[in-house]
Structure 1
């Protein structure tokens, strides 16, 4: 047996480091466009050199290996430069959802123990957010910066990296070391920091390229979902690995995405079902050249037979459903293109090459076809754990498998079906929102005497956050006032799409709210009661 001490040189020579991914791609693909943002193209070589400058700048500012650098940015080339600069410097990237309320951002800054913040200028213009940043005493680098709109102490990205060498920094990196903490909503309402290593993220990238059938010649990937989420982040890294160009967009705008497919010859498109519906229904769709599309990936929810058939006939002939979690770097399952028009319902398909997939009973027994249990995973892309939360880490990894919090079962052909969630989480428009978080905010309003928040089917959002509230009529507040209260204390994606006053909530004999009864009774709510829907 090789002594552990003898493995140290081997780790350095055979290391896995996310910063090396870009460096090696730059040496191979050079002048090819890595990023396309509007009319500007950034080559692999330029992206690598600017990221090197950022790494040297961070090291010069005192950043040590393992130090956390938080990021609050929308998609941009500058964001990608800063992210890879953090990787190359041996730092830990902590992306933050830009739609979170300022107090939630403040929690992440404090909980992650960040030393530096990279943020877009427009976001730092928010007074409440700036107060949290200033209270944290962070060094700040500003992206998309206007010199007149920021304190002199906050350097723009260009100013930060100016004068530093463009050469690859000599940073000793262990592939098993922590490289990022990505915060995801927990069932308690408090965000949990999911820790990943260089190796756990890298492991799934090559699996993705094989599963998606992507080569190294002239591929172009869409990048309109936010890079602070696992789904788009892993698509960007997969693109860089194989020399594909990524078309950066700030968000999904059907009037931007549709012409971009034709203009940039996008070959891989990633989106949510509601996005594909919008693209299909756009009046310019039939006049747009979509012939470059090789694969359209959708996530978060299955699509109806009608929508999927229409998309196959009028948009792209190859669709695949990919599922995953922040905790198990995605994709962990794939419902393949050749299966799409053969089976309909809540199919998630099979495990990807990187993963092993199971359905488990409460006592740790793996179940066979037809038996309902929790969906569990294991593989090299599993998280290191939840940051500063050993209890949650132990609970998620019991019996030697990662526990997803989702219920499922195998069919007789070995295909996985998703049935429900063990966790009381609402998946809406690509975001995970714990119902308890919304309930806690609603209960702060003096007119709310009781509340239950559930996700109900919605054509656009997949699940729409719906609040059933028992009101104290003497307070004189109605849905409009309650919605305004939510907007003041929640991120915009967390605000209920409908607030429904009820006389009472269904209860068990022990006083627990029966959310399943509310869901069943109001499945048609958004079709039958549009006048109650908050905009």
Structure 2
């Protein structure tokens, strides 16, 4: 383990970090997957070869190379090769095909497109490749509609270091946020910002550690939770192409993994799996399972033998903003923790004025020095300006600061509704409903009031536990007994599952668009009577 010194801004360049690791511990294992393992030195050599091949295809400063690939060592090598010659790399969702894939390729404005052979047939259904100058295919491919180069040939290029060296604030990586409304945003990061986020993720990394990743590379979690921390700290990164409930713990043991990162419902599937006597017989020490309720964490840790499962809050634009500590971690599901030291935080109202202590305000962020957060949205200056107001980046999330200095999550800003003169948090409503023993999942949201356009009627969509005998009046009565009377929704509906994006976040716009249907229970047309006691 050889941690890289990030204190000098000029040295915060991906290529420089890899070259340094190759120099000081070239034989140390870095990237590992089934049947393959590369040392820092071997990876540095291959990155140079790939970089020189990509440079011949025209990739260079400001030019984009996009990838449609499953998680693999090859993705890391290609990405770092693009970074080494000053280019920008993007990873496109492997779930896309047809119009969605066509739109994604167009949005990337890629000079070179690299795809796994398994996804190449999807391209044959497109009319064009939207400005792509070169198509490269990884794996065995018989050929298709568009001429392609084999990635295997790139390994034969010269291993000399490329002439161009990127600078610390150069754009290097774009994540396409899945979002909950509108088209995806291309969140553009510099070399510095993707490396500096490691400061929030290196907790407890020790010599001999292995950071395990099984999330798609078109999401940020595999990069921020495994690839970049392993590069900066000089430890192993284990890569699996997919998450498997039945094989997760076996994979952890096979790689001797000590750190892991999962999103959304992934870890809940692990929690809901049948208990085994050897559940705690694994090598995992730190598990960033985002998000997970504190009451489940308290049981999850001893069951699976995990030391550290603290939560945190961050966005694709800012990375981690709040971090739990031992003192803050187990208080309630709303606790975010304390701000990370390299960011300045403000809670602002709709006019960008600070709110009073104990009042909900939008979480707004700015770095204490350059190179800590994103550069802006790719090819979207209007959206960049919209979120950067009054010298603050506006996250769209709401929080409150208590007298104890702890920040607590309130809700998504658009999930605050005004109902009969009250501002109501949908997070708080959901927190009540999910406590019902027969409720598996819930979403609360506003439906425009027919009486007053500026107000909303409260609607709740519930997913019941399998086989549960649960009715809308049951839920309404439970809410009435457990919360203020105005938490009882006007409308209640049931669903088999709720719409969620790739990050596991609820896509409430789909529910709002569906609105009230013939199956929706309406409190005002029922005989349900609210108790105000």
Task: Please give the range of the TM-score, normalised by the shorter of the 2 chains.
Answer: 0.7 to 0.9
Matches of residues 14-53 of structure 1 in structure 2 within 5 Å? 14-53=10-49
**Aligned match of 1:518:** 459
Is 1:131 the equivalent of 2:126? yes
Consecutive unaligned residues of structure 2, counting only runs of 5 or more, are 1-7, 417-432, 472-492, 499-533
Which residue, out of 109, 114, 125, partners 2:110? Answer: 114
Q: Take 1:388 and 1:101, find their aligned partners in 2: how far apart are those partners?
A: 23
Which residue, out of 71, 92, 99, partners 2:88? Answer: 92
- C-alpha displacement at 1:280, in angstroms? 3.7
Q: Take 2:440 and 2:131, find their aligned partners in 1: how far apart are those partners?
A: 37
SS at match of 2:105: helix
**Aligned match of 1:155:** 149
Distance 1:409-1:98 versus aligned 2 partners, 3 A rule: same
**Aligned match of 1:366:** 354
Distance 1:187-1:225 versus aligned 2 partners, 3 A rule: closer
Map Cα deviations across residues 473-527 of structure 1 (whole Å, 9 max, x no partner): xxxxxxxxxxxxxxxxxxxxxxxxxxxxxxxx7634355894x6113xx346566
Are the aligned partners of 1:121 and 1:149 in contact in 2 as well (CA < 8 Å)? Answer: no
Map Cα deviations across residues 124-181 of structure 1 (whole Å, 9 max, x no partner): 22256x51653544411222x113255683122212x132122322313221111122
**Aligned match of 2:322:** 333
**Aligned match of 2:183:** 190
Consecutive unaligned residues of structure 1, counting only runs of 5 or more, are 1-11, 426-455, 469-504
Distance 1:203-1:534 versus aligned 2 partners, 3 A rule: closer
Q: Take 1:288 and 1:166, find their aligned partners in 2: how far apart are those partners?
A: 46
Is 1:243 the equivalent of 2:230? no
- C-alpha displacement at 1:289, in angstroms? 5.6
TM-score, reference length from structure 1: 0.75
Are the aligned partners of 1:23 and 1:168 in contact in 2 as well (CA < 8 Å)? Answer: no
Distance 1:274-1:24 versus aligned 2 partners, 3 A rule: same
Is 1:271 the equivalent of 2:256? no
SS at match of 1:324: strand
**Aligned match of 2:170:** 177
- How many residue pairs are counted as aligned between the two chains? 444
Distance 1:64-1:308 versus aligned 2 partners, 3 A rule: closer
Are the aligned partners of 2:59 and 2:82 in contact in 1 as well (CA < 8 Å)? Answer: no
Are the aligned partners of 1:187 and 1:424 in contact in 2 as well (CA < 8 Å)? Answer: no
Distance 1:153-1:327 versus aligned 2 partners, 3 A rule: same
Q: Take 1:323 and 1:513, find their aligned partners in 2: how far apart are those partners?
A: 29
Map Cα deviations across residues 14-70 of structure 1 (whole Å, 9 max, x no partner): 343112222222222322221221132122222221111110001112223110111
Distance 1:56-1:414 versus aligned 2 partners, 3 A rule: same
**Aligned match of 2:223:** 233
Is 1:303 the equivalent of 2:293? yes
- C-alpha displacement at 1:368, in angstroms? 4.2
Q: Take 1:184 and 1:413, find their aligned partners in 2: how far apart are those partners?
A: 33
- C-alpha displacement at 1:86, in angstroms? 0.7
Is 1:214 the equivalent of 2:205? yes
Matches of residues 297-446 of structure 1 in structure 2 within 5 Å? 297-299=288-290, 301-305=291-295, 307-315=296-304, 316-328=306-318, 330-337=319-326, 339-341=328-330, 343-379=331-367, 380-423=371-414
Map Cα deviations across residues 374-398 of structure 1 (whole Å, 9 max, x no partner): 0111224221111222222112111
Q: Take 2:127 and 2:220, find their aligned partners in 1: how far apart are those partners?
A: 25
Matches of residues 58-73 of structure 1 in structure 2 within 5 Å? 58-73=54-69
**Aligned match of 2:247:** 256
SS at match of 2:248: helix
Q: Take 1:405 and 1:467, find their aligned partners in 2: how far apart are those partners?
A: 16
TM-align CA RMSD? 3.2
**Aligned match of 2:449:** 507
Are the aligned partners of 2:83 and 2:166 in contact in 1 as well (CA < 8 Å)? Answer: no
- C-alpha displacement at 1:75, in angstroms? 0.3
Are the aligned partners of 1:219 and 1:243 in contact in 2 as well (CA < 8 Å)? Answer: no
Distance 1:367-1:280 versus aligned 2 partners, 3 A rule: same
Higher helix proportion? 1
Distance 1:13-1:354 versus aligned 2 partners, 3 A rule: closer
- C-alpha displacement at 1:356, in angstroms? 2.3
Distance 1:150-1:332 versus aligned 2 partners, 3 A rule: farther
- C-alpha displacement at 1:13, in angstroms? 10
Q: Take 1:349 and 1:462, find their aligned partners in 2: how far apart are those partners?
A: 27
Are the aligned partners of 1:207 and 1:353 in contact in 2 as well (CA < 8 Å)? Answer: no
Distance 1:512-1:156 versus aligned 2 partners, 3 A rule: farther
**Aligned match of 1:480:** none
Q: Take 1:462 and 1:41, find their aligned partners in 2: how far apart are those partners?
A: 41
Q: Take 1:70 and 1:152, find their aligned partners in 2: how far apart are those partners?
A: 16
